[in-house]
Structure 1
């Protein structure tokens, strides 16, 4: 009877232990899956919302350079400039820039990033207006308009673009830091699983040892 009672007690302990193991394993598995999902989302965001847009922003700079080249050609002395032809060339680059900005606006933007983008859009509109004034002016006024307001507007646009590119790098660093935190979390969960396995092993060995001890005592009692 004593042996049966001890056996039943051990079975209940083992059943409860297995239940706890199952709960802990499921919880750790859930946390691990959540961390892996967050890491995956961070890398996807890094590519779609940071790497690709940063490349597109440099493409804007390239088009700004080409527009400035067109204006510089218009400033050459005794250079017969057809305003409609020059405007057509600049409009072509403006459409490319607008296309990139529209694409960029579809990505995930932080508050500061949205603010810098709005400032860039305003600077681009100002620059476009001045470009038209330069192209529509006569040869003597073109240089004056460009030197008085045109050069400053172009520099201002480049400054706004540079600020937007820098914030891309800053947000990218924050995403990397976030990924490192999730990676550290997965390491912690792996360590917990190892500790849990060791504790389980110790408890099982203890139960078996205790069972053997009772069995020996019971056998001695029967011999007596």
Structure 2
């Protein structure tokens, strides 16, 4: 009751309610901002992580098929005309280049850009050696492939693997950021509940104080 009677000053009550209103608006603003950040994180997760992951898989698939064509041309007993091998290799190269360009348009962190450049350089070296091996005769081409061509293909796969790993790492960081924003919205919701309780207590206190004053006035008038 002491607290209730201390709220008789209307100016103080109005100021306190104004402060609570400002706090409520601020909490609401911060909550909306957190929800927006969460939405942006999920959109980025899809556009810059999930979709590019399929592009990287597509690149890996075409690299594997390229390697199969080269093995058919130089390693296995299958006799594949050089013109057919070059045609198939060029088809896979075009698909890989298209996927690389598409991947480069997504949001990339500094390490991803570095690993992407490494992958591009490895692909360029691999293409040069592939063309050289296929342009030579069967015996000489096989020597080039076995000496440097196969190693270049393995280097390309290693660079692609590095890019996939760093992409997964960035995706994990986005998930952690989303969890932080979700925790923030929980805090803001808790604060809103607390403010609502405070307002309810103040209303009850003001009503109680008004009733007490009314009873005192009635007793005074009876006397």
TM-score norm. by structure 2 comes to 0.91
Q: Which residue of 2 aligns with 1:115?
A: 114
Contact 1:81 1:135 in 2 (8 A): no
Q: Which residue of 2 aligns with 1:193?
A: 192
CA distance in 1, matches of 2:99, 2:89: 16
Q: Which runs of 5+ in 1 are unaligned?
A: 1-5
Count residues with an aligned counterpart: 217
Contact 1:10 1:207 in 2 (8 A): no
Q: Which residue of 2 aligns with 1:132?
A: 131
CA distance in 2, matches of 1:49, 1:115: 16
1:167-220 C-alpha deviation (Å, 9 max, x unpaired): 111111100000000000110010000000111111111122122222222222
Q: Which residue of 2 aligns with 1:3?
A: none
1:151 aligns with 2:150: yes
CA distance in 1, matches of 2:33, 2:130: 52
Runs of 4+ in 1 over 6 A off after TM superposition: none
1:88-133 C-alpha deviation (Å, 9 max, x unpaired): 2111111110100100011000001111000000000000001011
CA distance in 2, matches of 1:38, 1:81: 56
CA distance in 2, matches of 1:79, 1:47: 44
Contact 1:61 1:161 in 2 (8 A): yes
TM-score norm. by structure 1 comes to 0.90
Q: Which residue of 2 aligns with 1:85?
A: 84
1:31-55 C-alpha deviation (Å, 9 max, x unpaired): 1111111000000000000001011
**SS at 2:184 equivalent:** helix
Q: Which residue of 1 aligns with 2:201?
A: 202
Contact 2:116 2:163 in 1 (8 A): yes
CA distance in 2, matches of 1:207, 1:77: 96
Q: Which residue of 2 aligns with 1:141?
A: 140
1:117-156 C-alpha deviation (Å, 9 max, x unpaired): 0000000000000101110111221221111101110100
**SS at 2:108 equivalent:** coil
CA distance in 1, matches of 2:171, 2:79: 46
Distance 1:78 1:20, change over 3 A: closer
